[in-house]
Structure 1
Amino acid sequence: MELKVLIAGTGFAAEGHAQAFRAAGAEITGIVGRTPHVVAEVAQKLSIPHAGTDWQHALRECLPDIVSIATPGGAHYEPIKQAIAHGAHVFCDKPMTATSDTAIELHRLAQQAGVKTAYAASFRYAPGVLHAKKLVAEGVIGEPTEVECISHFNLERGIPFGWSHRREDGGGRLNNNFTHTLSIVTSVLGDRILSVMGEVRDDLGRAPIVSGVHNFATRRDFMPTDLNDPSLEWGKSDVEWSYTVLARIESQKASKPVSVLFKHGGLVPRFHEDHIVFYGREGAIYIEGHYGSGQLHLFDRSGQWRALPLPDDVAARIPAIKGETEQCWHYLAREFIRDILGEAHEAYPTFREGAEYQQIIDMIRSEGNWTKVAEPA
């Protein structure tokens, strides 16, 4: 049975989702975007028969089994709600929506409608993460005790103003970085998040307004050469560009909750490589890269760090696709399709995780966990 897929969006994610579902054996029957000539160009490029700007018309015309939501988070709510009413299964990129209330509502509606959902916090499928999951499950590091996820992106301050700078559009580093690292940690340890606290900081403040930007992947091509140019217009950032989060996660592999540190600086430079480390009572696993896509190193009873090759059984599961983001989309789309068809599949994140993550992000942004230190007597 060939499932039919309708895509919402025309940028980098839309193209990635379309290719992922095709590789999984589905038919891409339509694509919808805001700008007529853009959606027509993308549809022609990807050989998609239906192209339009009316989402509800496309749902009636294309009769999709699956809709793939590849727009910024602030534009997710209405298309997903309409797709669920249509009876379509939903594959949604992160963030799920811009607020926890709307994310919870969509999760409830999907459950009531009996449709399947996939939430693309998908770097849990990076090769190093899958390898770490295997090692932890085999007890190689013993009982897990703590995890640290450290990343510094040194993003350019001249990146043109857009959805990533606006809370209402699903912007911010929590929505677009923390979602992945939280999914990575829970995929390895277990998905029961017991408690969370954290703080955020907007150390950008503003970004230049530049016309012509369409594709998120090429936004750097439009950066002004002189940020001191008095003729520049500026948009106000209202989201975090750095965060520090502490979490306690329950794991069946540990007798006590595992402590997790998530530290991200969007605008600051890195000195050593970004990394994810899983510590246990008998060893540790260090993965290079902010999303665990680099070399994995093991510290075990030998008392030495050593680089490990990717096991053959893990390598065999990785889609042969260029680009780590695209690779993970392919992995998730494949498992989602298998589930819909009633075939054996791996567990994957759904709207349950999407709604939970949005609640956690709202809690962190509220910063209601500071204790004031009194002056000494």
Structure 2
Amino acid sequence: MADRLKVLVFGTGFAGQGHVDAFRAAGADIVGIVGRTGGVVSDVARKMAIPYAGTDWDAALAACQPDIVSIATPGGTHYAPIKQAIARGCHVFCEKPMTASGDTSAELYELARKRGVKTAYAASFRYTPSVLHAKRLVAEGAIGEPTEVECISHFNLERGIPFGWSHSKKDGGGRLNNNFTHNLSIVTSVVGETVLSILGEVRDDLKRAPIVQGVHNFATRRDYIPEDLNDPSLEWGESDVEWSYTVMARLRSSFAAEPVSVLFKHGGLVPRFHDDHIVFYGTKGAIYLKGHYGSGPLSYWGESKSWAELPLPPDIQASRPDVTGETEQCWHTLAEIFVRDIRGEEVAPYPTFREGSRYQHIIDLIRTNDAWTDVQHLA
């Protein structure tokens, strides 16, 4: 494909601006950006030298005639614009969560499949260098047959963060949509993409959040935390999503004869004592990744019977995008893969709407909280 691909971005905040930079770095042209507030989208378009700015998505699709649309708004707003873009034959790059429910995600997956457009689902922390290193080591047999994985994180998020989409199920909020999606993508990329079975428990231990005007960018929401949360004049919004979860899964792995057991444990509002981490255990060794998305140093336990930090292989180090921020680096990697695939180049498998749809169905199942067995009657 000789011509440069044209990209229309939906969303003006942290993700929208990050997607702009990522697609430009991948060699595509950003032809327009759409947001909900006219003044904000005009300011972003001017700052980022984007030729078209608007608040009407359908009008933007008609005016810009994009090859690719990049959806960078909260998950609850994804369904309609993605459906419109697929109908016009656009390829779609979408932030997680894909939509607010498994059923709507499945519908979009089928529409894209039938229309023949390519899709990318940005549960993209699977592209941090340490995760790529772990994936290589597991494939090389460094830990033998994988047996279990644990993903442990505690964020200690401020309870005074202003009420917004992250507090609302219909808007795509909740820690499953915005934390578990990344960890599930990381684990499946390293061990195996097939999730065989799952059970889980969720808890809303926040209940409410202050309503504050003026928050337009998710990355700066902490700047709007009220100084006095006991101020009687404050208005409050009610949370209806989980802020903590415990999930167990069984995955099929081509590297193991038996299913791999996985524990996902996340406390959104509680402090950590030890480091957040992801660990891959096997019959001959283990791999420890520091950090809630495993983006810190990698340590290996093998024949020496002790932990040793391993350096990144030179080729993985060299492939790291030269941008600040782990989130931004991962967007750049996935956008480059997506653009190359659309151009007809050979690329490794990457997360698509197939995975996005499955993840949303899994989240729906976990949220039912019905995996408990009542044992009160036992003697």
Band of TM-score, shorter chain: over 0.9
For 1:207 and 1:132, locate their aligned partners in 2 and report how far apart those are by CA, in whole Å: 38
1:28 corresponds, among 27, 30, 47, to 30
**What amino acid maps onto 2:266 in structure 1?**
H
Give yes or no for the alignment of 1:227 onto 2:229.
yes
**What amino acid maps onto 1:219 in structure 2?**
R
Alignment-derived partner of residue 14 in structure 1? 16
1:296 corresponds, among 294, 298, 306, to 298
What does 1:46-65 correspond to in 2, within 5 Å?
46-65=48-67
For 2:48 and 2:9, locate their aligned partners in 1 and report how far apart those are by CA, in whole Å: 12
Alignment-derived partner of residue 44 in structure 2? 42
Alignment-derived partner of residue 306 in structure 1? 308
Show structure 1 runs of 4+ deviating over 3 A.
Answer: none
Alignment-derived partner of residue 76 in structure 2? 74
- Equivalent residues of 1:127, 1:292 under 8 A apart: no
For 2:284 and 2:259, locate their aligned partners in 1 and report how far apart those are by CA, in whole Å: 17
Alignment-derived partner of residue 244 in structure 1? 246
Give the superposition deviation at 1:149: 0.2
Alignment-derived partner of residue 257 in structure 1? 259
For 1:20 and 1:313, locate their aligned partners in 2 and report how far apart those are by CA, in whole Å: 21
Give the superposition deviation at 1:315: 1.3
Q: Helix, strand or coil: the match of 2:319?
A: coil
Alignment-derived partner of residue 281 in structure 1? 283
Give the superposition deviation at 1:344: 2.1
Number of equivalences: 377
Q: Please list the CA deviations of residues 152-195 of structure 1 after superposition, one character each: whole Å capped at 9, or x if unmatched.
A: 00000000000000000000000000000000000001100000
Q: Please list the CA deviations of residues 216-269 of structure 1 after superposition, one character each: whole Å capped at 9, or x if unmatched.
A: 000000000111111111000000000000000000000000000000000000
Give the superposition deviation at 1:148: 0.1
For 2:375 and 2:244, locate their aligned partners in 1 and report how far apart those are by CA, in whole Å: 23
Q: Please list the CA deviations of residues 30-89 of structure 1 after superposition, one character each: whole Å capped at 9, or x if unmatched.
A: 000111100000000110000001111110100000000000000000000000001000
1:5 corresponds, among 4, 7, 17, to 7
Alignment-derived partner of residue 271 in structure 2? 269
Give yes or no for the alignment of 1:144 onto 2:140.
no
Alignment-derived partner of residue 368 in structure 2? 366
For 2:213 and 2:31, locate their aligned partners in 1 and report how far apart those are by CA, in whole Å: 31
Give yes or no for the alignment of 1:183 onto 2:185.
yes
For 2:285 and 2:191, locate their aligned partners in 1 and report how far apart those are by CA, in whole Å: 15
**What amino acid maps onto 1:226 in structure 2?**
D
- Equivalent residues of 1:141, 1:300 under 8 A apart: yes
**What amino acid maps onto 2:368 in structure 1?**
S
**What amino acid maps onto 2:40 in structure 1?**
V
Gaps of 5+ in 2: none
Gaps of 5+ in 1: none
Alignment-derived partner of residue 155 in structure 1? 157
Give the superposition deviation at 1:369: 1.1
What does 1:116-155 correspond to in 2, within 5 Å?
116-155=118-157
Query: RMSD of the TM alignment (CA)?
Result: 0.6
Q: Please list the CA deviations of residues 298-324 of structure 1 after superposition, one character each: whole Å capped at 9, or x if unmatched.
A: 000110100000001211222111100
For 1:346 and 1:272, locate their aligned partners in 2 and report how far apart those are by CA, in whole Å: 35
Alignment-derived partner of residue 115 in structure 1? 117
Q: Helix, strand or coil: the match of 1:74?
A: helix
For 1:250 and 1:189, locate their aligned partners in 2 and report how far apart those are by CA, in whole Å: 8
For 2:178 and 2:320, locate their aligned partners in 1 and report how far apart those are by CA, in whole Å: 23
Q: Helix, strand or coil: the match of 1:131?
A: helix
Alignment-derived partner of residue 101 in structure 2? 99
For 2:230 and 2:347, locate their aligned partners in 1 and report how far apart those are by CA, in whole Å: 53
**What amino acid maps onto 1:36 in structure 2?**
G
Give the TM-score taking structure 2 as reference length: 0.99
- Equivalent residues of 1:7, 1:68 under 8 A apart: yes
Alignment-derived partner of residue 338 in structure 2? 336
Alignment-derived partner of residue 213 in structure 2? 211
- % identical equivalent positions: 71
Give the TM-score taking structure 1 as reference length: 0.99
Give the superposition deviation at 1:339: 0.3
For 2:282 and 2:300, locate their aligned partners in 1 and report how far apart those are by CA, in whole Å: 11
